[in-house]
Structure 1
Amino acid sequence: MSKRRIKKVAIVGSGIMGSGIACHFANIGVEVLLLDIIPRELNAKEKAKGLTLEDKVVRNRLVNDALTASLKSKPSPIYHQKFASRITTGNIEDDISKVADVDWIMEVVVERLDIKKQVFETLEKHRTPGTLITSNTSGIPIKFMSEGRSEDFQKHFCGTHFFNPARYLKLFEIIPGPKTDAAVLNFLNGYGEQFLGKTSVVAKDTPAFIGNRIGIFSIMSLFHAVKDMALTIEEVDKLTGPVIGRPKSATFRTVDVVGLDTLVHVANGIADNCKNDERLELFKLPDFIDTMMKNNLLGSKSGQGFYKKQVSNGKKEILSLDLNSLEYRASKKAKFATLDLTKPIDKVIDRFKVLIAGKDKAGTFYRKTFAALFAYVSHRIPEISDDLYKIDDAMKAGFGWEHGPFQIWDAIGVDKGLELIKEENLEVASWVSDMLASGSASFYTVNNGASYCYDIKTKAQVKIPGQDAFIILDNIRTSNEVFKNSGVVIEDLGDGILNCEFQSKMNTIGGDVLAGINKAVDLAEKNYEGLVIGNQGANFSVGANIGMIFMMAVEQEYDELNAAIKYFQDTMMRMRYSSIPTVSAPHGMSLGGACELSMHADKVVAAAETYMGLVEFGVGVIPGGAGSKEMALRASDTFRKGDVELNTLQEYFLTIGMAKVSTSGYEAFDLGVLQKGKDIVVVNKDRQIAVAKQQAKLMADMGYTQPVKRTDVKVLGKQALGMFLVGTDAMEDSNYISAHDKKIANKLAYVMAGGDLSEPTLVNEQYLLDLEREAFLSLCTERKTLERIQHMLKTGKPLRN
């Protein structure tokens, strides 16, 4: 059987979902044909131009407007705006024949079975046999959609359900129809994971599939609990947000973003089609939801929902809906004693035992809601899935939960979960008792670095498939630990490669982390072949520990501060000039010091979702961990004969001066913080550590040679410094920057120009590092810099002063 490759896809339907999916295929380098219907009438602009319904620009208006709106939306659906050129638009009447040339056709039209069937009938006339054809339906049974279609169509047809926004949410549900070929399911499962960067889950053809069935149950059960427990919407959002590893939007803000009408549509679908669901009553809408629907309080799309933005006296205010009066009121801050007890607990998974033991309303809330969730998911096996890990995967990837229901249940203890369920007069599925009787005391176990879960059919722990491409640090941290301090754990990844994993709060880089990196380099040079700096936290690192810098600066301990900055610089240079290859694996926020660290590795294996940049201007300093030096060096390396070298240097200067941050790994190349031809981007973050290890091993196997220290960095001296100073004067005069902004920019200018040398000169890196450290230290003596650092520590936001 020949290997199936996806070079070109057709997306039929260009709404928010269709355009988002089209952009994500373009993200991964696939050519996309995006089609939609033609308008029925001209708009005012078209009439004014004298256009007719036969003009191509009119016929493609709907698809072009939809794609344009998608590309302008924030957060962006595309990794880099230039990738949009991979998308060609057209309309279903003129361009439908082009689907004959694609490898995969996906239908993303309105959720109406009659319309979908019409679309499939049209597509079948033009589709080449053997081409994949799928539907992005969120709930219509797959078996109904393929009725009456040919044998070849049905064999290659299934549901492929992306979650919105397609770029950011990782769940990719694959739902077989009655005649879908197993090879098609296997291909899509692998393609979703490897190429689209998704968590692929093969679901059953049951209403709302896996993610929405459990997710909507969870939300609907909260809708009922909120009235029963007399909770406000702010209290529920406080209880169901980051404290339990859920998104900041928690419950009610999420519903506002998704749209109450969308949620009601799915809930009604479950209520109508799942008559045997033991919690059917929870899918019936509470009175307040009915009233909100009638009053068009649908959320962001209608301008008001559970929350409403209001501008009063030029000030923005967010109002909250009172669920009793259904009137808007000022938001009230929610506070619970139980949540205060979790503040010292960094790991979310360790908080659940504390939360369910709470003596206040929060404790009652968690006991009730977790009991309901645990009982419900137990009964969904084998109805919606034969495997419990698929339910957890779906909730993590589709709803942004850090832990799935069975993982949370394991965290509090299976017996304790059963106790909570009993207290709520609910019943658990019998297989849970069978599991305990079989000798399995938990849903999951770890063995030899691999995750296992309880399998209901065999009544034994079985290895979860698909892990071989991943390295899961949680699974190997204890067994493969080589060294540990309060800032890092160093693990043996096998094949002679070490990994240095940050363990500090928000993975900030302080003294212990730097000591850990140095130790990792020492160990790798002595007994191993390479080193990866990587972790699987929410973010790679938010940068240097500015709290430590603030304390030293306030206490005027300038010698200690100078030594701390030098230690950071020396550690970066130790990474660069070690005798073993070093690979950095940034993802999520990789800011300031974390960006500097990556810039000093031999290679960067960045996740596609990497937000990377030198942001030190925001706290009143310049990059002091060898970042300013490195940008001057990279500018020097890009000088070409005949170039206006000042212009090249200015680009690198502005990247720091404007605190630019990439919105994806691909954009980081534009900023010069990643380097073309050297660094790479991986779409699936789960594969990142494995790929980084592979790259380190490859460099070692090819015969890695310790780099020779650079003495050939070209700096432009007074010529560049003069240009920068004129520029900062002009910007201050036009009120674009403050006096303190100008001071910081001038300090950076001095470093990147190489000081006030009379002519362009070749210097070594240490010369620039000394200039950088001196500038950083002098800025730490400034009151306005200390105000900026303090404001960032207090609020998490930059201060302009």
Structure 2
Amino acid sequence: MNRIIKKVAVLGSGIMGSRIACHFANLGVEVLLLDIVPKELASEESEGGVATIQDKAARNKIVNAALETTIKSNPSPVFTKSVVNKITAGNFDDNMKDIASCDWVIEVVVENLEIKKKVYDQVEKFRKPGTLITSNTSGIPIHMMAEGRGDDFKAHFCGTHFFNPPRYLRLLEIIPTPFTNKDVVEFLMHYGDKFLGKTTVLCKDTPAFIANRIGVYSIMSLLHLVEKMDLTVDEVDKFTGPVLGRPKSATFRTTDVVGLDTMIKVAKGLYDNCPDDKARELFKLPAYVAKMEQNNWLGDKTGQGFYKKIKGADSKSEILSLNLKTLAYEPQQKIKSTTLETLKSIEDLRLRMKAYAMGKDKAGEFFRTSFAGLFEYVSDRIPEISDELYRIDDALRAGFGWELGPFEVWDALGIAEAVDMMKKYGHVPAVWVTEMLAAGNTSFYKVENGEKKYYDIPSKTYKNIPGTSQYIILDNIRATKTIWKNAGTAITDLGDGIINLEFHTKMNTIGGEVLEGINKAIDVAEKGYRGLVIGNDGANFSAGANVGMIFMMAVEQEWDEVDFAIRMFQNTMMRIRYSGIPVVAAPHNLTLGGGCELCMHADFVQANAETYMGLVEFGVGLIPGGGGSKEFALRASDAFAEGQIDQNILKDKFLTIGMAKVSTSGREAEELGYLQKDKYAISMNRSRLIADAKEKAIELADAGYTKPVQRKDIKVLGKSGLGMVLAGANTMYSGHYISEHDKKISEKLGYVLCGGDLSAPTLVTEQYLLDLEREAFLSLCSEKKTLERIQSILTKGKTLRN
């Protein structure tokens, strides 16, 4: 079905409704956000006759207040501030008729079936036939909401369960009813994936669907395990955080953020609606949780939950954790574990899981006990909540931030070995697992010909995961498609004449091995390929240059080595710019310092929507030294109107670097000047990023890509611009806004951006600016205060303002 979404109506402006509206606006879709009319005016409005209930502002007060609160929330639900202009607020009484112009109506009102039915009465009255109508409910069976509706309504009605916050959590559960048209389901699965950037998971209409059914089971089982094993809040969050491939917020902190009441509501719903669930008793609240509910200790929304922030005697904030026995808040305890210490050196998460399961202390026992139960639970849920096991893994990764889903962890441990472990803890897998092993199948997943396959239970064969053929997952092709590698990089053949260079250093920092890899990749591409993509599947694109290496050389006063390293970095960035083949960068998440400079020199940037890009060298007492300062001078020159010089343009460039501004999205990276209009595009879905970048490289090659010529026409302002910079830095220093060292760095940066102290505006070359940039960088490396800043970042992870 050829369906285009131009306008969406969101009915209900609460936390989820407003954020869903913002995310659609992020795509450029026009949004109509509606809520109820206040029953009566607030006293401050009604007194003195300032407004009446007939006034538009008064009638839209609820929706306007909700949207305003959402926009101010952190992290931001919008890519840029201008996105909000796509949203029109209104109310059910006056504006429900306007849904006739909408292509999709999403209901996000309170979780009450009768209220939803009343809303649907109005929707059915005004929606045009064929319009999608979906509900974001998480607690009401989808089929119950479709009952009594007309045939066209039922055919286009479906559940679309977003996870909060919808911009950042990638899960979108699609729950059809028996009446939903097949093409509607296919459209929602595709649209959610490609345009909303989601992992779309097809669910059955069962209680809590997939992610919450398994995720809340996991949390509830841990809440009971805490009592059984006499664990503390601090221990559980240490055992279930990043070491397990899960968010830093782990278990209890996540519950505080989401709200203990939310988790309790889902748990109670599962207890009431799943009478045949073997693990049903685990959905009962432990006594300490019931007491917390009674005390209204629900987490962040009530100021305390499993954690509580207080101000100490020195007025510094301190976070206390709850003693689950006494229900008193106590200082957090540092957790010591031999098992966790041994896991620190294991980068590969799958290998780490295997080592975790062998731990001899409390952490190892916790791992085995919790996963023995989880493995049984997920195997028992097939086919109840899903016919395919991969959907369960997809849901937990995208909805709860697990790096590995439960079946993927099971694979990492070895299925047969994990079954033996389960039996020791009183758990048995579902019969289909035993039959699978008996037939000689020893894994839930395997990779063949670059594609990941899953074990299909009904057919007892391995099948391709639907939809993933459009993705390029480097993990799946690296074993057979790698054509060169060194200690920090690998070059992989993507097919169709395009190769990819990926980094795999810590935080994907850029050091000598990465620079070698970039140059090698360009050599290889120029000799026998059509284009190069620089991208990876890591947590971040790149945290920047390896400042630890610079620090060590500077401490040893090996200035020739430092100078060589800077030249090498600059030359490599220029090689990217002036290679004989198109180079497409594919950044995502952190893209800082040298990672940002790399993108600024690429022919094109295919950025993930969640790209946080910035030149942050000021934080370590330096200026951008890999061509970033040069590039901002060049872009300022290009922004000057013909025959005119606008110092405000230079000022903006200076402040962007001087304030170490980092974009909060790929779109904002353009506003900050890191990305250039017409030279970048956004991939909403991270899983599509490498494939999208490959397509762009092919497009550039097909268009007859030719090697660019180095620039010799960059207009710099010399003393006229430098005077502005020096005056501004001196004013900031005099006002105690910056330190003396900040002032010195500012002057160095201004000197480069202005092309030195030339007597008049002059045209200069890129190499001229690179030389100035390198000299300034080198001189700052010799400053004691710069070395103190670098040391603070390396040892404490904190920016020092000395």
- Per-residue deviation, residues 600-637 of structure 1 (Å, max 9, x unmatched): 10000010000000000000000001110111011111
Question: Aligned with 2:480: secondary structure?
Answer: coil
Q: Which runs of 4+ in 1 moved over 4 A?
A: none
- Per-residue deviation, residues 666-698 of structure 1 (Å, max 9, x unmatched): 000011100011111111111110010111111
Amino acid at match of 1:760: P
**More deviation in 721-730 or 328-337?**
328-337
**Number of residue pairs aligned between Structure 1 and Structure 2:** 800
2:441 paired residue number: 440
**More deviation in 64-73 or 790-799?**
790-799
Find the aligned partners of 2:771 and 2:61 in 1 and give their Cα distance.
58
Structure-to-structure mapping, 1:145-156, within 5 angstroms: 145-156=145-156
Find the aligned partners of 1:691 and 1:174 in 2 and give their Cα distance.
25
The CA deviation at 1:641 is 2.5
Amino acid at match of 2:14: G
The CA deviation at 1:43 is 1.6
The CA deviation at 1:352 is 0.3
2:22 paired residue number: 23
- Per-residue deviation, residues 302-343 of structure 1 (Å, max 9, x unmatched): 000000010123110101110000111111122211011011
Structure-to-structure mapping, 1:195-234, within 5 angstroms: 195-234=195-234
Question: Aligned with 1:130: secondary structure?
Answer: coil
Amino acid at match of 1:98: D
Amino acid at match of 2:196: L
**More deviation in 644-653 or 698-707?**
644-653
Structure-to-structure mapping, 1:569-648, within 5 angstroms: 569-641=570-642, 643-648=644-649
1:61 maps to 2:61: yes
1:286 maps to 2:314: no
Question: Aligned with 1:579: secondary structure?
Answer: coil
Amino acid at match of 2:726: L
Question: Aligned with 1:666: secondary structure?
Answer: helix
- Per-residue deviation, residues 74-132 of structure 1 (Å, max 9, x unmatched): 10001111011110010001111111111111110111112111111221111212111
1:353 paired residue number: 354
Structure-to-structure mapping, 1:382-531, within 5 angstroms: 382-531=383-532
Find the aligned partners of 1:162 and 1:642 in 2 and give their Cα distance.
52
Question: Aligned with 1:148: secondary structure?
Answer: coil
Question: Aligned with 1:90: secondary structure?
Answer: strand
**More deviation in 112-121 or 517-526?**
112-121
1:138 paired residue number: 138
The CA deviation at 1:48 is 4.3
Please tell me the root mean square deviation across aligned C-alpha atoms, in Å: 0.9
Question: Aligned with 2:469: secondary structure?
Answer: coil
Q: Unaligned stretches of 5+ in structure 1?
A: none
Find the aligned partners of 1:56 and 1:335 in 2 and give their Cα distance.
60
The CA deviation at 1:528 is 0.7
Find the aligned partners of 1:697 and 1:675 in 2 and give their Cα distance.
20
The CA deviation at 1:183 is 1.0
The CA deviation at 1:427 is 1.8
Find the aligned partners of 1:590 and 1:229 in 2 and give their Cα distance.
42
Question: Given that residues 346 and 505 in structure 1 are in contact (C-alpha distance below 8 angstroms), is that contact kept between their aligned partners in structure 2?
Answer: no
2:261 paired residue number: 261
- Per-residue deviation, residues 541-560 of structure 1 (Å, max 9, x unmatched): 10000110110011111110
Find the aligned partners of 1:84 and 1:347 in 2 and give their Cα distance.
41
Q: Unaligned stretches of 5+ in structure 2?
A: none
The CA deviation at 1:439 is 2.6
1:741 maps to 2:742: yes
Find the aligned partners of 2:648 and 2:378 in 1 and give their Cα distance.
60
Question: Given that residues 491 and 499 in structure 1 are in contact (C-alpha distance below 8 angstroms), is that contact kept between their aligned partners in structure 2?
Answer: yes
Find the aligned partners of 1:375 and 1:546 in 2 and give their Cα distance.
47
Amino acid at match of 1:662: S
2:70 paired residue number: 70
The CA deviation at 1:60 is 0.2
Find the aligned partners of 1:693 and 1:515 in 2 and give their Cα distance.
22
2:46 paired residue number: 47
Question: Given that residues 310 and 319 in structure 1 are in contact (C-alpha distance below 8 angstroms), is that contact kept between their aligned partners in structure 2?
Answer: yes
Question: Aligned with 2:248: secondary structure?
Answer: coil
**More deviation in 640-649 or 514-523?**
640-649
The CA deviation at 1:506 is 0.8
The CA deviation at 1:178 is 2.3
Find the aligned partners of 1:642 and 1:67 in 2 and give their Cα distance.
45
Q: For the structure 1 residues 765 and 150, does the alpha-carbon distance in structure 2 shift closer, same or farther, using more than 3 Å as the test?
A: same
Question: Given that residues 434 and 459 in structure 1 are in contact (C-alpha distance below 8 angstroms), is that contact kept between their aligned partners in structure 2?
Answer: no
Amino acid at match of 1:154: K
Find the aligned partners of 2:776 and 2:520 in 1 and give their Cα distance.
29
**More deviation in 75-84 or 637-646?**
637-646
1:685 maps to 2:686: yes
The CA deviation at 1:349 is 2.2
Question: Aligned with 2:637: secondary structure?
Answer: helix
Question: Given that residues 517 and 571 in structure 1 are in contact (C-alpha distance below 8 angstroms), is that contact kept between their aligned partners in structure 2?
Answer: yes
2:308 paired residue number: 308
Find the aligned partners of 2:801 and 2:124 in 1 and give their Cα distance.
60
1:250 paired residue number: 250
Question: Aligned with 2:693: secondary structure?
Answer: helix
**More deviation in 158-167 or 419-428?**
419-428
Find the aligned partners of 1:97 and 1:174 in 2 and give their Cα distance.
27
Amino acid at match of 2:755: G
Question: Aligned with 1:672: secondary structure?
Answer: coil
1:776 maps to 2:777: yes
The CA deviation at 1:796 is 1.5
**More deviation in 69-78 or 308-317?**
308-317
Amino acid at match of 1:134: T
Structure-to-structure mapping, 1:545-564, within 5 angstroms: 545-564=546-565
- Report the identity percentage: 62
Question: Given that residues 440 and 461 in structure 1 are in contact (C-alpha distance below 8 angstroms), is that contact kept between their aligned partners in structure 2?
Answer: no
Question: Given that residues 438 and 460 in structure 1 are in contact (C-alpha distance below 8 angstroms), is that contact kept between their aligned partners in structure 2?
Answer: no
1:326 paired residue number: 327
1:124 maps to 2:124: yes
1:791 maps to 2:792: yes
Question: Given that residues 11 and 18 in structure 1 are in contact (C-alpha distance below 8 angstroms), is that contact kept between their aligned partners in structure 2?
Answer: yes
Find the aligned partners of 1:687 and 1:737 in 2 and give their Cα distance.
43
The CA deviation at 1:5 is 1.0
Find the aligned partners of 2:686 and 2:321 in 1 and give their Cα distance.
36
Find the aligned partners of 2:325 and 2:633 in 1 and give their Cα distance.
61
Give the TM-score of the pair, scaled to structure 2: 0.99
Find the aligned partners of 1:48 and 1:666 in 2 and give their Cα distance.
44
1:3 paired residue number: 2
Question: Aligned with 2:84: secondary structure?
Answer: helix
2:365 paired residue number: 364
Find the aligned partners of 1:136 and 1:661 in 2 and give their Cα distance.
33
Question: Aligned with 1:105: secondary structure?
Answer: strand
The CA deviation at 1:49 is 5.8
The CA deviation at 1:47 is 2.5
Question: Aligned with 1:589: secondary structure?
Answer: strand
Find the aligned partners of 2:46 and 2:302 in 1 and give their Cα distance.
29
Find the aligned partners of 2:11 and 2:764 in 1 and give their Cα distance.
58
**More deviation in 297-306 or 120-129?**
120-129
Find the aligned partners of 1:335 and 1:85 in 2 and give their Cα distance.
51
Question: Aligned with 1:478: secondary structure?
Answer: helix
Give the TM-score of the pair, scaled to structure 1: 0.99
Find the aligned partners of 1:92 and 1:377 in 2 and give their Cα distance.
42
Find the aligned partners of 1:627 and 1:107 in 2 and give their Cα distance.
46
Find the aligned partners of 1:553 and 1:395 in 2 and give their Cα distance.
46
1:754 maps to 2:787: no
Amino acid at match of 1:462: K
Amino acid at match of 2:303: G
The CA deviation at 1:643 is 4.2
Find the aligned partners of 2:758 and 2:167 in 1 and give their Cα distance.
48
Find the aligned partners of 2:421 and 2:113 in 1 and give their Cα distance.
41
1:32 paired residue number: 31
Structure-to-structure mapping, 1:647-666, within 5 angstroms: 647-666=648-667
